[in-house]
Structure 1
Amino acid sequence: MRERNAFWIDHDYDRAQSSDPVGRYAAYVAANSDLFRPTLEDIAPVRFACLAWELATQPRLSPGFVRWHSRILDASCRQGDWDGGLDAQIRMVSPRPGQLSASRVWEHDRGWRDWPQVFGQFVEPSPERTAAHPYLRAVLLAQTPLPVAELPPLPAHDKDIPQHAERAVSVIVRELNDQLNPILRSLDEA
């Protein structure tokens, strides 16, 4: 089941919802290949992969090329400041910390609420709700380096950009799943 993974790509949906046989994402990348040109001058494919991830997760493709677990609020990649490697940052919905769950003394009968859910998806409470009730929404921030050895090399030609972007995104999805799936399982069981 996909919800057991932190991230996944629904290739069938992407192709079925596109007028282009290569799929929505590949067509979108091809139409925006000029955005990738500055990254093609780099030695390593890190900035290329980060841009590929950004396009795969942005609202323009709704749903995105990359989908994620209901606990994940957002996920981004960037080139690391220290070594130029590939760094990921993921914000996840979490249950309240144990210290706050064990004792309710801190609540003072104010009716603190957790994350609201709509059809199983965690959502931001509306301004109307936050005006009426206090909310304590716990968030975990995962910051992790990802290995770059499996990233595809930079494409030699513009026509290869979509294929290389898809491969880069697939590698990021696999690496993030490897690191985050155990965390999400633990959160879901809590």
Structure 2
Amino acid sequence: MPEFDQSTLAHTNDADDQERSDDGHSRYGAYLRINASQFHDEGYPLTAAQFAMAAWRTATGPVMAPGYVRIRPDLHHLAPEAAGEDYDRLALRITVPLRHYRLHPDPGIRFDDWQRDRSGWDDVRFNRLVEPDADRRPALLASATLLVPVPLSLLPVPTQTRPGPRLTAEAKLAVNALVDLANHHAQRIHSLTGGAR
């Protein structure tokens, strides 16, 4: 299974998807069938942007857990969203928590900060940061959001409105294009966090 590193914010794994499937083909495909109503507009195909958003929602938690798309645990958010004045474009929103000492070495007042999640489920190099208990003192919780425009030319134009092998293949193309775009910007996220959590 692919692992996370400083150049990987998300990944997919087709071998795992097939291995975990009930039909021997694709677990993600089964989730697409369950959520088939999300992949058409009253019987008509969605736009490439709408299709990519629906494919991503289905490929990630909470719809699919573990997801076909695995997101690095230290990110608070990674997903496409409608953008533009008429919401006819697409952007990839990547949100990462920042330890406040990275913003200013001494804010003058002692604040609590993001705390490492010690559940043991995450890759220790990319610990999930969670809110501290609210019973001690005020917490300064900073985060940064990188909003990346998605060129629609990267996305497949859906040809299917009904679940099946072609819809699954098109959905996988869409989410993999978004994963590749996110990973292309991983160094920017790495520079925000200083490479250390």
- 1:88 is aligned, of 92, 112, 128, to 92
Contact 2:155 2:174 in 1 (8 A): yes
Q: What's the secondary structure of 2:134's corresponding residue?
A: helix
The Cα shift of 1:63 comes to 1.4
Q: What's the secondary structure of 2:30's corresponding residue?
A: helix
TM-score, normalised via structure 2 length: 0.80
**Identity value in percent:** 20
Pairwise CA RMSD: 2.5
The Cα shift of 1:30 comes to 2.2
Which range moved further: 77-86 or 45-54? Answer: 77-86
Question: Are 1:3 and 2:9 matched, yes or no?
Answer: no
- 2:149 is aligned, of 134, 139, 145, to 145
The Cα shift of 1:183 comes to 1.9
Distance 1:112 1:156 in 2: 50
Contact 1:39 1:48 in 2 (8 A): no
Contact 2:98 2:144 in 1 (8 A): yes
Q: How many residues align?
A: 183
Q: What's the secondary structure of 1:53's corresponding residue?
A: helix
The residue type equivalent to 2:96 in the other structure is: M
Which range moved further: 33-42 or 51-60? Answer: 33-42
Distance 1:188 1:40 in 2: 48
Q: What's the secondary structure of 2:113's corresponding residue?
A: coil
Report the equivalent of 2:52.
Answer: 49
More helix by share: 1
Unaligned runs of at least 5 residues, structure 2: none
Q: What's the secondary structure of 2:81's corresponding residue?
A: strand
The residue type equivalent to 1:114 in the other structure is: W
TM-score, normalised via structure 1 length: 0.82
The residue type equivalent to 1:183 in the other structure is: R
Distance 1:116 1:152 in 2: 38
Which range moved further: 13-22 or 46-55? Answer: 13-22
Going from structure 1 to structure 2, the CA distance change for 1:97 and 1:123 (only over 3 Å counts) comes to closer
Question: Are 1:19 and 2:25 matched, yes or no?
Answer: no
The Cα shift of 1:116 comes to 2.6
Unaligned runs of at least 5 residues, structure 1: none
The Cα shift of 1:13 comes to 2.2
After the TM superposition, which segments of 4 or more aligned residues of structure 1 sit over 4 Å from their partners? none
Q: 1:87-119: per-residue Cα shift (whole Å, max 9, x none)?
A: 121211223254522x25322xxx623333223
Question: Are 1:122 and 2:125 matched, yes or no?
Answer: no
Question: Are 1:189 and 2:195 matched, yes or no?
Answer: yes
Q: What's the secondary structure of 1:105's corresponding residue?
A: coil
